[in-house]
Structure 1
């Protein structure tokens, strides 16, 4: 990250005040001055010039306390012309505000720098001292274990540094303390309880300077999990654990489960263990003795979790249709006709008798 400061920022004001106090310089009103006093080896440094007039035509930067031609690093003539000088190293440029940018900064960049600002009516000069420092060693990181089981194991990480402003990163993102992620009061120890499969990397960092972070190496975690569940897929399709398949047809069965590390597979047919260790079983030509129940067992050797799923292969039912002829013998037909006629005569007689009785009763009542 660049050690650069936006104009008007708090750190810029801090460096400015420190520079003035250290050098015993009192800048008069209307006089330009350089505000940068500190650079970091390997990072970008900006020597900022402030209090410049509005009608600037050219900025020229020099190595040393004077603006002699032999000391010139680079000049910038508005609107966009840059001209390198004898002290140019290929790492310097001037931005639109006239600041000198050194990228990356080296230890031997320490020293005086002079800027000459040419305006329409006059020329301004200012000199400032740049101190380039080297960052200390990066923090190191250690953990008690890198192979863990999800929701069972915990991991403890230690950031080895003398600094106190430590930031912890999980999956490259900064984290803060919580009920499950606990950071020690000195910030040097992180404990993650009941590790999750999504928590794959750990790292710590220290902020040596504002916005300058020194990071430790990244430690990768292997979190074993599962199997979450087991699904037994088949062709032909099985409904409610029953597969209908004809003798001689092709049958495929596959166990599907999510897990880390890879699962071990076992197949059982009608209570007998089969010599199959793959996730799939293929019966190219189904035989009668291959009918029956199958069980797929998945086993995670690290989490020690085991699940299974059952399926049953049955032959489809064949519905037979029986055609029967209905026939009646001729004597039987004659008998039926006689019986029907007799029954009709009898019913007619009963009806006539009932009508006669009813009529007689009415006549007797009338007399």
Structure 2
């Protein structure tokens, strides 16, 4: 809101014109005004004139009604009329021309040092450096040569990316050149999402890999060290099987720089084999393996009528599956040089429902208004789905429990629970009877009904007798 005056020091009297610029570079695009002194001074406004700037004697610049946008660098250029005086000959100064910037290396990569060198024709020439129109000063990472011709960034950073300008000036003229610097970086250590480590057999595995890098990186997915067909930052594996348990690796590569980074995620797929059914496990190993052994929960497996091995021992088939076959399976591979183990495969045996019942057991005698919770219980793997039926009518309730609080006479009857295993497709039923043997007065519902019927019959008989007496009297 205030005002400010900028005046060159020392004051210049003999000049033909002066120009003010709203930048550190005398570029006509940033010119505010040009002032011509004389008996009738003339002010010629430039592209950045806002209507608040005026010039006065001595080439002073006055800015009224200051705003935040007035913040910045201001440059004044003063042109004088050369006056010939008797004096010794002086050197001839050539104007600045041919300003050029060279960059080394041509493709800088963080944190390698990068150097910008500025050259110009003319004599003598002084140099200044700017980044994104802000003057650069020497600092911890910004190194300037003694003549300011060379700018070095050591070490370089991705934040150094931007437009760099070299301004070359002498007593005759000035000229600048600009170059774009893009510091490439990465790839940083990538991250995989989601970090879920356990999946059910048949579910979908969907992973995303992200890494900070410039330019855009190439993504490669590995499973147990072997490349997958999927490319790109996302991996989709539908309908997981137990054999797909293992280590998933995301590798990020910047090809032109030969730089890479990676991260891994361990995935376990829980298999569910139906009781009395069959399941097969395959050991993926190189042909150089001399011996392949199978272990369950760390103990070696011996082939039998139910545990069948392929001729090369790489495939294990379990027939007539029992609940005891559940556990963690690994294959062990050996050759003359080393021994190695596969990632674990967790196998769950699906069975049931067995021993289905409703708790509490019936018949259940209740007092009106008391709470009631019925729970359907069954021995089963995996978790069951439930259906409740009351007096032959489906309740649309699918949880393992039913709760009523408070209870009313409408809650008495026969409750049935259907428990179904989604893997074995077996279904079991259980039922219980709920009743209210006594009312709050201590009478059973049957006794209450008898009293009510008797009372209604007595009332009807009394009404008939009174009618008869009235008719008799009237006659």
With the shorter chain as reference, the TM-score category is 0.3 to 0.5
Q: TM-score, normalised by structure 1?
A: 0.43
**Structure with the higher helix share, 1 or 2:** 1
User: Which fold has the larger relative contact order, with Cα–Cα distance below 8 Å and residues 6 or more apart in sequence?
Assistant: 1
Q: TM-score, normalised by structure 2?
A: 0.34
Higher radius of gyration, 1 or 2? 1
